[in-house]
Amino acid sequence: MYAPPTETENLGNRKSRNTGCDNGESLRPSHTPTGCGNSYSAGYCSFILSAKASAGRLDGKMREKTLTMDTLNPQVKAVEYAVRGPIVIKAGEIERYLEEGGTKPFSEVIKANIGDAHAMGQQPITFLRQVVALCTFPELMDSPSFPEDAKWRARRILQGCGGHSLGSYSASPGVECIRKDIAAYIEQRDEGVPSDWENIYLTTGASDGIMTILRLLVSGKDSSRTGVMIPIPQYPLYSAAISEMDAVQVNYYLDEDNCWALDINELHRAHQAAKQHCQPRVICIINPGNPTGQVQSKKCIEEVLHFAYEENLFVMSDEVYQDNVYAPDCQFHSFKKVLYEMGPEYFSSVELVSFHSTSKGYTGECGFRGGYMEVINMDPEVKAQLVKLLSVRLCPPLAGQAAMDVIVNPPQPEEHTFKQFHQEKSSVLGALAEKAKLTEQILNAVPGIKCNPVQGAMYAFPRIFIPPKAVEEAKALGMQPDMLYCLRLLEETGICVVPGSGFGQKDRTYHFRMTILPSIEKLNVLLGKVRDFHIRFLKEYSGLE
């Protein structure tokens, strides 16, 4: 039987762990505190329980429900998504408590748990909003307060919409002229590497595209079940999707000591080990990294592509942070471009899908749920199946498609709005670079916190030292130690960050993910509070009081 290597035990064998808990649960009466300890941590349980108590469950004589924890789809039960998990639910509760006049040692909750730029006060890019507003209410075309280049773009988008309305369904792969603009953008970004607009599919945020491609790939039973290689730490959309589809999660560990770099030997190790119990068919890469903020070197990308070529792996490259590169010695290289430069043998054979989104970069338009994917070398029959699958959901939101269009087709130097657009863009990216630096510096000044440089993306993922006494206490509570840490941080300071265990980490290491998105002033305050908290926490649990 396959025995996972020790360092994978922190994430565990998902199936066996969950099965164990599920079995346990069905035997326990639902009011015992341990009763909901399936895939969510015990921390979550107490929130659910209190919600249940306040809901005042009716008497036990009710008809057995059709849909209960026992009859629920077990794959759904296995899904975990820490970015909006127990910590965030708790933060919401505290926010409401404060609103209702309750007192806490702080006056507001700062949500540094999610890459939501506008919620942190970032202003939208004027030009993007002008174009989308014009598309939404075309009567504004007559208004002198909107610039001509915005009107021109809006007209062009509307001409691509049925009945010239943003309210009609688009073709399921997206509005044709937007797909063409995206292809042109990719070609320009990749310095002439050709991009075919028919390979472009608009999506409902990048998440939707990632799920769709995984859905195509997941097949087989037992040892032929699709294995999906994902980095650890990872963005938990991947593990959640894998759970939901009952695929096999294959972890490869990023090298924290080497600025979270991807080590090709580790890919080989993970792949070899996984082959014993599943069929690894996909490798997922997040570059720039989420939650880890590293930017992959060109050489490293080449190695990954060569590996995928050799081992017959389908490559999924999550490049939603492609505009978020801050470190002066780093540069974003698209997987597509590197693949092209490796020569026709690679470029004509490696199956690659890359993902982009309106939610990150300098626009931060998360609410629009815009995104696209480009599929390279996909079997034409499979592509037809992909189109069919997308068509069931009809189409991605049109406002998101329009926003995506502005991102790939921004004002040009000769256009009227170029100056303002460029100013806004640089100011957002400049501030992010500054905050990336600031976060790293302040965190590294705290004893017991060690933070790699935030080369790109929007997060710091510092390693935190948690004293053994705190680890024991957490274990006694049935909680991950970094969950205990983050819950305490939230309760004492109002700062909401996500424990490293939600992303995966090497056994006996602890981290949290925080965004670098708050304004500089707020970020300074936040980091100061984290520092004070950490020192207090160390003292408390090291018996130095």
Partner 1 sequence: EWLYMSENGALPRLGKVLTADTMNANVKKVDYAVRGPIVQRAVQIEKELKEGVKKPFEEVIKANIGDAHAMGQRPITFFRQVMALCTYPLLLDDNKFPEDVKNRARRILQSCGGNSIGAYTTSQGIDCVRHDVANYIQRRDGGIPSDPDNIYLTTGASDGIVTILKLLNTGEGRTRTGVMISIPQYPLYSASIAELGAVQVNYYLNEEKCWSLDISELQRSLQAAREHCNPSVLCIINPGNPTGQVQSRQCIEDVIQFAAKENLFLMADEVYQDNVYAEGCEFHSFKKVLFEMGPEYSSKVELASFHSTSKCYMGECGFRGGYMEVINMDPEVKAQLTKLVSVRLCPPAPGQALMDLVVNSPQPGEPSHQTFMKERTAILSALAEKAKLTEQILNTVPGISCNPVQGAMYSFPRITLPERSINEAKAKGQAPDMFYCMKLLEETGICLVPGSGFGQREGTYHFRMTILPPTDKLKTLLNKLKEFHQKFTQQYS
Q: Write out the binding residues for partner 1, residues 151-180 only, by CB under 8 A.
A: 161-163, 165-172
Using the rule CB under 8 A, is 66 a contact of partner 1?
Answer: yes
Using the rule CB under 8 A, is 533 a contact of partner 1?
Answer: no
CA distance 295 to 286: 9
Using the rule CB under 8 A, is 91 a contact of partner 1?
Answer: no
Using the rule CB under 8 A, is 65 a contact of partner 1?
Answer: yes
Among the listed residues 14, 129, 155, 450, the single contact to partner 1 using CB under 8 A = 129
Interaction mask 26-45, partner 1, x per CB under 8 A: ----x-----x---x-----
Using the rule CB under 8 A, is 14 a contact of partner 1?
Answer: no
As given in the structure block, the two tokens for residue 11 are 């994430």
**Cβ proximity of 206 and 227 under 8 Å:** no
Contact residues for 379 (Cβ-Cβ < 8 A; gap 6+): none
Using the rule CB under 8 A, is 84 a contact of partner 1?
Answer: yes
- When the beta carbons of 117 and 432 are compared against partner 1, the nearer one is 117
Using the rule CB under 8 A, is 119 a contact of partner 1?
Answer: yes
- When the beta carbons of 117 and 183 are compared against partner 1, the nearer one is 117
- Binding to partner 1 (CB under 8 A): which residues in 279-298? 281-282
**Cβ proximity of 98 and 104 under 8 Å:** yes
CA distance 316 to 375: 9
Query: Which sign, positive or negative, has the C-alpha torsion 481, 487, 492, 494?
Result: positive
User: By CB under 8 A, which span of 217-225, 286-294, 420-428, 497-505 interacts with partner 1?
Assistant: 217-225
**Cβ proximity of 236 and 502 under 8 Å:** yes
Using the rule CB under 8 A, is 127 a contact of partner 1?
Answer: no
Count, residues near partner 1 per rule CB under 8 A: 115
Among the listed residues 1, 62, 476, 544, the single contact to partner 1 using CB under 8 A = 62
Q: Which residues pair with 226 in a beta bridge?
A: 279
Among the listed residues 218, 250, 474, 496, the single contact to partner 1 using CB under 8 A = 218
- When the beta carbons of 281 and 336 are compared against partner 1, the nearer one is 281
User: By CB under 8 A, which span of 125-133, 186-194, 405-413, 424-432 interacts with partner 1?
Assistant: 125-133
Using the rule CB under 8 A, is 385 a contact of partner 1?
Answer: yes
Among the listed residues 382, 447, 520, 528, the single contact to partner 1 using CB under 8 A = 382
- When the beta carbons of 400 and 494 are compared against partner 1, the nearer one is 400
According to DSSP, residue 410 is labeled P
- When the beta carbons of 246 and 540 are compared against partner 1, the nearer one is 246
As given in the structure block, the two tokens for residue 241 are 């999707």
- We find the least distance from the C-beta atom of residue 205 to partner 1, in angstroms, to be 7
Among the listed residues 7, 9, 93, 116, the single contact to partner 1 using CB under 8 A = 116
Measuring CA to CA, how many Å separate 220 from each of 134, 248, 278, 310?
Answer: 48, 11, 9, 22
- We find the least distance from the C-beta atom of residue 448 to partner 1, in angstroms, to be 31
Q: Identify the helix (H) or strand (E) that includes residue 494.
A: none
H helices within 34-104, ranges in order? 42-55, 74-78, 86-99
- We find the least distance from the C-beta atom of residue 369 to partner 1, in angstroms, to be 4
- When the beta carbons of 388 and 419 are compared against partner 1, the nearer one is 388
Among the listed residues 257, 381, 414, 521, the single contact to partner 1 using CB under 8 A = 381
Q: How many CA atoms lie within 13 A of 311 on its CB side?
A: 25
User: By CB under 8 A, which span of 97-105, 184-192, 212-220, 493-501 interacts with partner 1?
Assistant: 212-220
DSSP, collapsed to helix, strand or coil, labels residue 44 as: helix
CB atoms closer than 10 angstroms to residue 397? 17
The dihedral over CA atoms of 381, 382, 384, 386, expressed in degrees to the nearest 10, equals 180
CA distance 28 to 309: 49
- Binding to partner 1 (CB under 8 A): which residues in 292-351? 307, 309-314, 349, 351
Q: Which residues pair with 106 in a beta bridge?
A: none
Using the rule CB under 8 A, is 393 a contact of partner 1?
Answer: yes
- When the beta carbons of 163 and 543 are compared against partner 1, the nearer one is 163
Beta strands in 85-238 (DSSP E): 110-111, 200-204, 226-232
CA distance 182 to 170: 16
- When the beta carbons of 127 and 541 are compared against partner 1, the nearer one is 127
CA distance 418 to 424: 10
Using the rule CB under 8 A, is 223 a contact of partner 1?
Answer: no
- We find the least distance from the C-beta atom of residue 312 to partner 1, in angstroms, to be 6
End-to-end CA distance of the chain: 49
**Residue 243: closest CA among 395, 399, 39, 43:** 39
Strands 352-357 and 314-318: parallel
Measuring CA to CA, how many Å separate 136 from each of 118, 186, 387?
Answer: 21, 27, 27
**Cβ proximity of 285 and 315 under 8 Å:** yes
Measuring CA to CA, how many Å separate 219 from each of 80, 376, 390?
Answer: 21, 21, 18
Using the rule CB under 8 A, is 377 a contact of partner 1?
Answer: yes
10 Å CB burial of residue 231 (0-12, 13-18, 19+) is buried
User: By CB under 8 A, which span of 188-196, 397-405, 434-442, 482-490 interacts with partner 1?
Assistant: 397-405
- Binding to partner 1 (CB under 8 A): which residues in 241-280? 241, 244, 264-265, 268-269
**Residue 464: closest CA among 477, 446, 442:** 446
Among the listed residues 256, 323, 365, 374, the single contact to partner 1 using CB under 8 A = 365
- We find the least distance from the C-beta atom of residue 87 to partner 1, in angstroms, to be 12
- Binding to partner 1 (CB under 8 A): which residues in 405-464? none
- We find the least distance from the C-beta atom of residue 483 to partner 1, in angstroms, to be 16
Using the rule CB under 8 A, is 355 a contact of partner 1?
Answer: no
- We find the least distance from the C-beta atom of residue 350 to partner 1, in angstroms, to be 8
Among the listed residues 197, 321, 368, 510, the single contact to partner 1 using CB under 8 A = 368
